[in-house]
């Protein structure tokens, strides 16, 4: 498996900059540091969620349902809130339903639709895991001061605002 850590080192970036004058060394180094950190955090989260036999996608659905009202959420609302396709949400919900963490019920006002709800077992799992999850999240950010955390949020918003540059045809 190729990891982001196998991307060019500083000398390789300098060599590339000689060939490609449009290469901004600081931008490339910053982007690679961001991507490497993101990959490490995702890998750590995968390990963390696996302790509870969950994926990040399944955890996200459970958290959305925890915050939903008594009507629950439709599968399309789950997909929208989780930022995934309807096909993806169906697979995630199937897995959660098999583990009896969620249930599908007819939608109150339209029986052709479904609403998704946390089961008691799903609620118990979240009650068990959230203290540990929030402790680990706090520890992940422990090396940052409160001011640095706010600055990081601002900086990440600026990075996010630049994502259309990657998407341009």
Lowest mean per-residue pLDDT among 4-8, 54-58, 105-109: 4-8
Q: Is 53 left (phi over 0), alpha (psi -120 to 50) or beta?
A: left
Q: What is the pLDDT of residue 67?
A: 94
Q: How does pLDDT run across 119-160, given as a tens digit for each residue?
A: 999 999 999 999 999 999 999 999 999 999 999 999 999 999
Mean pLDDT of 93-114: 90
pLDDT at residue 73 tops 50 = yes
Burial call 97-121: b when 16+ CB within 10 Å, e when fewer: eeeebbbbeeeeeeeeebbbbbbee
Q: Which residues contact 93 (CB under 8 A, 6 or more apart)?
A: 61, 75, 78, 102, 104, 116
CA 4 centroid distance within chain: 18
Taking 90 as the threshold, does the pLDDT of residue 13 lie above it?
A: no
Residues 15-68 pLDDT 10s:
888 899 899 989 988 998 899 999 999 999 999 999 999 999 999 999 999 999
Higher pLDDT, 164 or 107: 164
Alpha helix (H) ranges present in the chain?
10-19, 25-50, 56-67, 75-82, 86-98, 120-140, 146-161, 164-167
Question: Residue 169 has what pLDDT?
Answer: 87
Look up the pTM and report it: 0.84
Q: How far apart are CA 138 and CA 91, in angstroms?
A: 31
119 phi/psi in degrees, rounded to 5 = -90, 170
Phi and psi at residue 29, in whole multiples of 5°?
A: -60, -40
- What pLDDT is attached to residue 5? 58
| Residue 2 pLDDT | 43
């Amino acid at each position: 498996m190729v990891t982001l850590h196998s991307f060019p080192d500083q000398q390789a970036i300098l060599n590339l900059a000689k060939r490609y004058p449009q290469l901004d060394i600081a931008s490339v180094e910053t982007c690679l540091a961001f991507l490497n950190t993101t990959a490490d955090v995702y890998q750590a989260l995968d390990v963390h969620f696996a302790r509870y036999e969950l994926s990040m996608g399944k955890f996200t659905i459970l958290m959305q349902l925890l915050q939903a009202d008594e009507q629950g959420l439709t599968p399309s609302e789950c997909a929208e809130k989780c930022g995934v396709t309807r096909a993806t949400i169906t697979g995630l919900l199937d897995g959660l339903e098999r583990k009896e963490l969620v249930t599908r019920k007819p939608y109150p006002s339209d029986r052709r639709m479904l609403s998704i709800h946390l089961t008691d077992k799903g609620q118990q799992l979240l009650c068990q895991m959230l203290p540990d999850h929030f402790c680990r999240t706090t520890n992940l950010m422990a090396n940052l001061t409160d001011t640095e955390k706010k600055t990081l949020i601002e900086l990440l918003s600026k990075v996010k605002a630049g994502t259309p540059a990657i998407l341009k045809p």
